[in-house]
Each structure stands twice: as structure tokens, then as C-alpha cells.
Structure 1
């Protein structure tokens, strides 16, 4: 059915204007004023912003970790994402060194089939580069459209790859048009510090942060950037938390390197003191990299504003406090790493960013949607409101006031990391390819409606233009 969204203020990464949007067969076919079309449903967006749907480049749904599995799967996780204004996610396929890459892809297709209510794609973890990987990868990129590869520089003896694997992955990515993502922490030193802390009887959640100091995130980020320069490839640093890592990304971009950075709402709003909460409450805030001292928040906001960081992902990875986080009750290293973030990413960035004037409305759209769509081969199908783009649209009330709480969220987890936070602005209705998933704050979608996205190859050849040595180049 045709739809016309009328009387809203349309906001993209580039423009803000009053106008109507005509949708037909899931696609935006016309933008103008006083639009009319026979047999079209009229959707009144008076007093609201009309944003492109959020693109979350970093989720972990139905993922095994530390002897347990994340609470949110592709059904509950994508329903929560839709409530929060996200219409596209990219989830991580975890691979095993003793199994073909294709096996991981098949596994993640099985996890998501018939469950997702919004559109989704996959990143692919690379843990080793051998003849089998070199043979398989081009086929997976071409047939599956998985054009981003993840390398862990941490989680020694579990997920961590060595520098040789990272470098060979960067070379493969340059050859095949892929973007390499890194979890940038020095896993070898972290392993030593964890062992030392436990030997000394330090088992509380705060030692998760104290054994993963920011200098080790900065060191790994700089090392990855240097290898990217040597390979003449491209790099995306996930979940940046601290000044040390931002500085290394800015230095790389100032040199014209194709290096990009992501942060997350938890690092913009929470700090290391949350890990010190008594009665093991600090375990709720255990994820990696850990929360940092509060002053780093200003550095991250500034980095989003000036282009040193380009995107905000959720790093959704939910575990119940009761029964799952409690696995590390007497040993912080056994607390499952991760938190529930997928639902509140969009609204927190609006409330704390655009509403409070830290970033502009257009920058908000860029970091919450457009930049990720561009980097991960989805633009302009996703990430903008334009003729020919998918009608992934968020009708957003900028005046609504609400309090974040586990009692009202839609994630399948027993706590909310932002419990009690007062925010301004929330999605009223959310459409994916022209169909309502959320309508008047009620879920009206269908599990299985979400489509798997075959993504384009990374297409930003050459070096970045260097405009401002303080801004870390431009995106």
C-alpha cells in the first residue's frame, strides 16, 4: 500500500526541511510539499522529525560467550532495536579455526531465519589466515555480500588473532574490497594483568577495568593503524572508549589513512565508577573494552563532532544479571562481557547529543545511520531519505520525556545499563521498507519480515583528503 508521510520535518545527514514523503512498494518515490496520491494512506507526522532509520553496525545476537549465550536473539533483539528507531543491524558471525568460514555464515543464517523484524547483514570474524581461508573468502564476499571482516586483538586463547593474521587480513581486504574491523586491546598484556590480579586475590568487577587500562587500547589501536598503513588497506576500530585510542585514530587520519572509528552510547554516558557498585552490581557494567574515567566522555563527544570518530554502534551483547553475570561472582574474569544497548542507542544519541547541542541534528543522523550505511556498503539504499532509497523511516517526537528502565524496555534481559536516565525524544512510529514495525509506540511487525542484506564492497580508494590537522581528516 502506498503511504504519504506528511507535515514532518525531514532530517538527513545533509539537509533539514519541511516536506512530505511518498512511499510505494517499500521505496521512497517522491519528496515534496502537499503531495497526493490515489489510494495512499496518509501518515501525519506533525510536530515530529522524520529521520532515516538507524543503522547499528555492531550487534551480537544469539551469541555464545564464556559458557553461556546472549539473552537476546534475532527476534527479541530486532524488536527492541525497532522500538528504539533502528531499522538495520549488522551482526557478527563468529568463526572457529577448525571449521570453514562458510560454516559460521550458515550458522548465523540459521539463527536469524524467520526471526528478524528489521533488515540485517553480517560481519565475518577472521581468526586465522590459511589456504582454506584464502580460497573461501572471495566466494563469501561475492555470494553472501559480507564485505567486512573482524579481527580480535584481545581475548587471548579464545578469540585473539596474532599480528600476522591481522596484517594478512588487511592485505586480503585491500584485494577484495572489504573493510577490516578490529577489537583493539593488547590481549597478551591483559592476560598477564588478569592473572596477576587474581593471584593477589582481587576478584571484584572493577578489576575488569583495572586489568584493561586505556593505554593498552591506545597501543593496539596505533599498532593496527600502522599495519593498515603498511598494507595500504582500510581499518574500522570498533567501540572506541578513551582519549588514547582517539588520538591514534586522529593521527592516522591526519596522515590520510583510511582509518575510521566507532564509539558506543555506554562510553558516552557511563564511567568506570559504575563497576565499583556494591553487592556485585558492578558486574552489570562489565564489557570490553571497559568503561573509562568520566573525562573521556568529553573526548568522545568532541571526536564525533569533529570527524575523528564516524559512527555509534550499540555493541549489543545482553546477559542477565541473575544467573549469567553471576558466573563471575568470585572471579571478575568469568563475568560474561557485554550489555543491553540496542534499544536505547538512537534516543540517547538524540537526547544527549542533538538535543543538548553537543552535535547538530544532521551530525546525529550521520553518526546514527548514514556513516555506517556508507562504510558498510548499504548507502543509499539505507541510511538516508532520498528518492530510490528504502523507506526505512523513524517518526520521532523530539519533545517526549521518558525514563529508561528495565521495567519498560523490550530487550529480553533483566536489567538496563541506563536505568533511571531521563531522556528527551523518542520514536513514535518506525517503518522498514514502507511497512510499520512500530506504530504509535506499539509493535505491529512480524518475525521473519527482516531481509538479509547483500552488501556492496568497500569503495573508498586512495587516501583520505587532509583538511584540518586538528579534525583528523574528513569522512
Structure 2
């Protein structure tokens, strides 16, 4: 006898809905079958959809920016995740430049994550690295992490990883079979004018800063045979260029992640009364660029929310420099993406490279 049976439900399996029954033993799925078996508890799910637990590969809970922290800790953030059907989240270690600090960052972050009510995992994060990169990778793998986040921008806060190190890391990703995650923007094309307000965010971080850098990193990936995962692609123009010029590696060893906000809002949202709430990096793009995102959505491998929520009062600042960049939304991500992409959203939100 099974512990629990969920019968007559429409189960999403093999990328489609099928009416069948699920049998659970010791809190794990033991059998999926059209047949009926005895169980201690039976739930009639007729007329209901049963989905796999979603994976959000990109969240920032308890993120400390130095001058402010994101509002969700691992308990409240994971509670939001559970409400949205997300049963696994992947957060990030604090950026470090050497392997000794990597281990410290790992245990500090894992201690914070104990409050989570859903499953969790961590990405390592590197910044302007010092020392031997191979030793860093070996230590990362020994700690049980298989993804390494880097930034091609944020030189102003010493988080940028430069091209020579990126190429070396790509070679190491092939040798040690891990994934490099990259926040991809051209640092030299970003304008950090201290007088800018939140309305200037699209000017500060223009589309060309993303597109040009993405094409360069794709070229490095092709030439090294390394493994790259581009986080939060924001522009349909970037997606178009990548798919036209690098179709041989797209979602084979150059994976593309995007976020619900880039399918939902345009940069016109920044002109609203509370436009400061729509501030994150990369920023929202034009309506034609968003339209392209929808048209080319089959090339987006996975959806991450980049959930990084701040209080309204903390977002409402006089200058862009003072404004913490990030929004929440993990609890709404499935509903939003099913509205845009229908059942393809489920497929994209249950993948993890």
C-alpha cells in the first residue's frame, strides 16, 4: 500500500498534460500509472493540473549590497517561492577573488539558507580574480558547486572579471565540466553619470552594451569549447543576433536565461508614477525589442526570476546611483510566463543546466 495517491489529475509529463495517477511513498513519487492501487490517503484531483516542482536558477535572498539588504531572507523568500510552485531555488555566494574566501563565503551562505522551506543550491561567484584559477575551480567543485557566476561589468565595485580570465575559465569549464554563468554587459558602454535618475536607466545601460558583449562572450565560448550560461538576457535584439550568428552553440554549450519582467514590461514603465519600482539591471527595453523576445522565445532555454526585492521606500531615491537595482516576483513567475508562453513556460521553468 502506498502512503498517498493523487488520482484523476492532469499530470504534466513528457512535456504535455496527461490524465493519470501519482503514487507517493515516504514523501517521494514511487509510481505514475493509469492503474489504481491502494493507498492510505487518496486525493481526487479531477479537473486539476499537477505540475513538477519548478526550479528558479536565479534568486538573491538576503543580498547585502553594503548600503542596503534585499528585503527577503531565505525564509520569506522561499515562502514566496513555494506559493508560486517553485520547489528549488539557486542563490549565489558573495563574490570573492580567491579560493580561501570562497570556502568562507560558502559556509556563511549555507548557514543563512538553513531557513529555507524549499530545496536550495548555490552558485559560486567570482570577482576580478587573483591567484590560480584552476585551484579556485577545484575548490569550488570540492564544495559541491558546479556553476560559477562572473560579471563582465561593475568595475566600479571591483566585481568585473576581465577577458583573459574569462577565456581561461571557459577552458577550465570544459576540462572540469562545470558551467560559467555570466552577467553580460559591456562595461565601457555603461554610463554611470551621477546625475542620472531612475528614468535614465535605459540610457545608462543601453541595449548595445548587452548585445556587443554577448556576441563577444559567445565567440569566446565557441573558440574554447567551454560552457557558458548567460543570465537575464533582456533584449530581443540580443537574442536575434545570438541566434543568427551562433546557432551552432546556442543552448548546447551557450545557454540563455531570461526573466518574466523582460516578457512583460517595456521601458515605458519607468515613466509611470512609481517608475522607480521598475529598476534593475539590465533594464527594461523598447516595445519592438520585447516583441522580438516573444517571437524568438523558443531560443530561451530557461527562466529565472532574478528575484531581489527591496522596500518601496528604499527604491525611491533622487539619483540612479543611490537606487538599489532589483525586483521581486518569484511567487508570480509561473502565472506570468504561462500567460506569455503557455505550456512552454512549464518546460523552461523545470530545466536546470
TM over 0.5: yes
Aligned to 1:2: 3
Q: Cα RMSD (Å) of the superposition?
A: 1.8
Alignment of 1:2-401 (within 5 A): 2-39=3-40, 41-65=41-65, 67-97=67-97, 100-113=101-114, 115-141=115-141, 143-158=142-157, 159-190=159-190, 193-195=191-193, 198=194, 201=195, 203-251=196-244, 253-256=246-249, 258-278=253-273, 281-304=274-297, 306=298, 308-322=299-313, 324-326=314-316, 329-354=317-342, 361=343, 363-369=344-350, 371-372=351-352, 375=353
Using a 3 Å threshold, how does the CA distance of structure 1 residues 223 and 13 change in structure 2: closer, same or farther? farther
CA–CA distance in structure 2, aligned partners of residues 250 and 66 of structure 1: 38
CA–CA distance in structure 1, aligned partners of residues 310 and 88 of structure 2: 22
Partners of 1:151 and 1:183 within 8 A in 2:
yes
How much does 1:117 deviate? 0.5
Partners of 2:129 and 2:161 within 8 A in 1:
no
Q: What does the per-residue CA deviation read over 1:207-258, in whole Å, with 9 as the maximum and x for residues that have no partner?
A: 1121111011001111111111121111111111112320243135423462
Partners of 1:53 and 1:86 within 8 A in 2:
yes
Structure with more contact order per residue of length (Cα contacts < 8 Å, sep ≥ 6): 1
Determine helix, strand or coil for the equivalent of 1:100: helix
Using a 3 Å threshold, how does the CA distance of structure 1 residues 80 and 211 change in structure 2: closer, same or farther? same
Q: What does the per-residue CA deviation read over 1:9-29, in whole Å, with 9 as the maximum and x for residues that have no partner?
A: 111353321100001123211
Whichever structure has more helix as a proportion of its residues is 2
Q: What does the per-residue CA deviation read over 1:117-160, in whole Å, with 9 as the maximum and x for residues that have no partner?
A: 0101111112144435432421331x332111111112222222
Structure 1 residues not aligned, in runs of 5+? 355-360, 376-475
Determine helix, strand or coil for the equivalent of 1:295: helix
Using a 3 Å threshold, how does the CA distance of structure 1 residues 13 and 60 change in structure 2: closer, same or farther? farther
Partners of 2:218 and 2:246 within 8 A in 1:
no
Partners of 1:8 and 1:46 within 8 A in 2:
yes
Using a 3 Å threshold, how does the CA distance of structure 1 residues 92 and 218 change in structure 2: closer, same or farther? same
CA–CA distance in structure 2, aligned partners of residues 131 and 13 of structure 1: 45
CA–CA distance in structure 1, aligned partners of residues 349 and 224 of structure 2: 29
User: TM-score by structure 1 length?
Assistant: 0.70
Determine helix, strand or coil for the equivalent of 2:8: strand
Partners of 2:222 and 2:249 within 8 A in 1:
no
CA–CA distance in structure 2, aligned partners of residues 66 and 13 of structure 1: 45
Q: What does the per-residue CA deviation read over 1:162-213, in whole Å, with 9 as the maximum and x for residues that have no partner?
A: 11221122122111111111111112221xx222xx4xx4x32111121111
Structure 2 residues not aligned, in runs of 5+? none
Using a 3 Å threshold, how does the CA distance of structure 1 residues 346 and 68 change in structure 2: closer, same or farther? same
- List structure 1 runs of 4+ shifted beyond 6 angstroms: none
